[in-house]
Amino acid sequence: MIILGIETSCDETAVALVSDKPTDMLDVGQGNSSCILAHRVFTQLEEHEAFGGVVPEVAARAHLQLLGPLLKQTLKDAQLTLADIDGVAVTCGPGLIGGVMVGVMMGKSIAAVHNKPFLAINHLAGHGLVPRLSDELSFPYLLLLVSGGHSQIVVVKSALDFEVLGSTQDDAVGECFDKCAKMMGLPYPGGPNVEKAALKGDKKRFQLPRPLKGRTKDGMACQFSFSGLKSAVRREIEKLGDGFSPQDACDLSASLQLAVSDTLCDRLKNALKQCEDRSQKLTALVVSGGVAANAFLRNNIKVLAHEFELPFVAPPLNLCTDNGVMIAWAGVEKMQHGSVDGLDFKPRPRWPLNELSLKKL
């Protein structure tokens, strides 16, 4: 089975062709990703750099211009035509609706013209399932999903059954990194540049809060909150005023990264204990989403996994940030469940993970 994947929900235009069985066509560099026949990602850096963040209308227009040529190139890379594919998997939400609609219209057109099944993919399910492509991983596993728009702890029970244990009350962790980076004057995109600056910084210099750390009662054990941390970073920058130097930015980045890591690990520990308490056997602790590209966070979560005697799984960096492979792979898994969607499927700007549809072939 070969599935075409299309991703346009934020600022990455991405297309991929993924098979349900391993082939030796393309090695993405790390992990066992030999099901990937071809994949292309265009990151809209120049388009949004001047604004210091993603502008939805600019992103949608760029997706419209880029998607056709990218699709053509990806098919050429794999030496396939649209007649060779067995289904079209498209991000139908959650995300910036203008961009999502561009991908959905393209996907539906291909499905209609070539008479192929249409697979409406939840972007978060894509992030959550791609570790099963890059690594040997069976259900159920505990997933920390950390991206620009989401921070969630989820028990993944099957490709269509996600139990959300906790999510953010305000900002997502990636959003916190991006906004703090902008305040510190670091280049766009924020997250990777905070990581880079932190390498040259003193993580103990600034005492930043660990939001909700230690809170285990009132249903708060697995929740996140990052807006207070962002405000604390702003106050430190204001205190330093005009004297805010490049070294201050490095020290503050390192301190911010440590505060985020402590917070994520505290919440994850509660989730792992919760699973133990209800005798939920887990196969692994998994981290995915754009922020999972951060090596400092990955290392600390790996230590936690070992504490709980669980294998630690994280996809290779290029499968952590938005890509078409994860959407195509979620399509493969959905097809394997015998679940497809109609061409009347409406794109959803908001689409919680516990509302995945199951429509049988």
Among 19, 74, 91, 147, binds Zn ion (CB under 5 A): 147
At 281 the three-state DSSP class reads coil
Distance (Å, whole) CA 57 – CA 128: 27
Task: Tell me the residue type at 56.
Answer: P
Q: For ligand KG4, what does the binding mask look like between residues 7 and 46, x meaning CB under 6 A?
A: ---x------------------------------------
Number of residues that bind Zn ion (CB under 5 A): 2
Residues between 311 and 330 with contacts to Zn ion, criterion CB under 5 A: 322
Residue 350: CB atoms within 10 A of its CB come to 9
Nearer to ligand KG4, 221 or 264 (CB): 264
Which of ligand KG4, Zn ion, none has residue 178 at its interface (CB below 5 to 8 Å by kind)?
ligand KG4
Residue 68 CB neighbours (<10 A): 11
Tokens of 66: 């880029």
Closest separation between CB of residue 320 and Zn ion, Å? 9
Closest residue to ligand KG4: CB criterion: 290
The pair of structure tokens assigned to 198 is 């932190």
Q: Does 236 bind ligand KG4 (CB under 6 A)?
A: no
Residue 210: count of CB within 10 angstroms of its CB: 18
Q: Which is nearer to ligand KG4, 102 or 221 (CB)?
A: 102
Binders in 225-284 for Zn ion, by CB under 5 A: none
In three-state secondary structure terms, 293 is helix
Q: How far is the CB of 291 from ligand KG4 (least distance, A)?
A: 4
| Number of residues in the chain | 361
Please state the closest distance from residue 108 (CB atom) to ligand KG4, in A. Answer: 22
Residues 142-201 that bind ligand KG4 (CB under 6 A): 147-149, 174, 177-178, 189-192, 194-195
Helix (H, G, I), strand (E, B) or coil at 155: strand
Sequence-ordered list of residues with C-beta below 8 angstroms from that of 164, at least 6 positions apart, any chain = 152, 153, 154, 352, 353, 354
> At closest approach, how far in Å is the CB of 268 from ligand KG4?
17
CA distance 196 to 148: 18
Choose among 73, 74, 13, 72: nearest CA to 45. 13
Instruction: Tell whether residue 300 is a contact of ligand KG4 (CB under 6 A).
Output: no
- Determine the size of the site formed for ligand KG4 (CB under 6 A): 20
- Is 211 one of the binding residues for ligand KG4 (CB under 6 A)? no
Least Å from the CB of residue 193 to ligand KG4: 8
233-262 in b/e form (b: 16+ CB < 10 A) is beebbeeeeeebeeebbbbbbbbbbbbbbe
For residue 90, what is the DSSP state? E
Residue 174 interacting partner from ligand KG4, Zn ion, none (CB closer than 5 to 8 Å by kind): ligand KG4
Q: Which is nearer to ligand KG4, 5 or 192 (CB)?
A: 192
Distance of CA 231 to the CA centre of its chain: 24
- Interface with ligand KG4 (CB under 6 A): 10, 147-149, 174, 177-178, 189-192, 194-195, 289-291, 293-294, 321-322
